[in-house]
Amino acid sequence: MKKSNKMIAVAAAGALLLTGGVTAVANAVSPAAAPAAVPAAAPVKVAAEVQPAPENVVAQNRISVGASSAAVNAALAKCQADKLPFVTVAVVDRFGTVQALLRGDNAAEHTIEAAKQKAYTAAAFGAPTSELAKRTNGNGPSIADLPGTLFLAGGVPLKVNGVSVAGIGVGGAPDGALDEACATAGADALAVASK
């Protein structure tokens, strides 16, 4: 047994010496025989400067943070005056990005999404969601199947020069007409402030 262990050890040592020798020879190759360095790639252009010409850039109107805050506060104040403290009010731009959100005392989690979706629906279509809900009658696919929309009363568009630029939505009241009355109060606060 000892003899076979010695033979294995000698064979392993021989293999190690052979491998080391081959490596040493490979490392000793002259620099002239080494492959040439790969040239660096040209820098990649990541972005182009867009010229601010009317045909390249679209100007857009947005509701300011102050106006968004005033609208959600006015809408929630109306709901609280109507004994509806459990609603959420959202103002979103016409792309659905939240500008302001105010959750009333005791407002359930689902009211947040409902308010945002109503606001977006009103902004995107430029009409109150109570009017839009009337267009979803019938069988088969309808505008109500569009992602992120909610065709229940409670969303009101906010317009600048007749163009919808944002929407205000209220969710959580026991009736959509109550939600819409609060949303309208928020929209009216902006109309009064601009006069």
Domains within the chain, CATH numbers bracketed? 65-193 (3.30.450.150)
% of the chain exceeding 70 in pLDDT? 78
Res 26: pLDDT:
47
| Residue located via tokens 């105010």 | 102
13 pLDDT more than 60: no
Closest C-alpha among 127, 188, 160 to residue 60 = 160
> Residue 155: which residues within 8 A CB-CB, separation 6 or more?
117, 118, 119, 120, 121, 122, 123, 128, 129, 167, 168, 169, 170, 180, 183
Retrieve residue 72's tokens. 């959600």
Q: How far apart are CA 103 and CA 119, in angstroms?
A: 14
Res 135: pLDDT:
82
In this prediction, residues 159-167 reach a mean pLDDT of: 94
Q: How far apart are CA 62 and CA 92, in angstroms?
A: 10
Res 99: pLDDT:
96
The end-to-end CA distance of the chain, in Å, is 105
Res 38: pLDDT:
65
Cβ atoms of residues 110 and 118 within 8 Å:
no
| Residue located via tokens 């929309």 | 149
What pLDDT digit, counting tens, does each position of 168-187 carry?
999 999 999 999 999 999 99
What pLDDT digit, counting tens, does each position of 18-77 carry?
444 444 444 445 455 555 566 667 777 777 788 888 888 888 888 999 999 999 999 999
Q: How far is CA 9 from CA 2, 3, 34, 110, in A?
A: 11, 10, 36, 74
Lowest mean pLDDT among 4-8, 13-17, 173-177: 13-17
Amino acid identity for residue 121 in this structure: T
Taking CA 175 as the corner, what is the angle to CA 173 and CA 177, rounded to the nearest 5 degrees? 105
Tell if the pTM clears 0.95, that is, is over it: no
Res 47: pLDDT:
78
Cβ atoms of residues 90 and 112 within 8 Å:
yes
Res 37: pLDDT:
64
Assign 30 to helix, strand or coil. Answer: coil
Res 19: pLDDT:
46
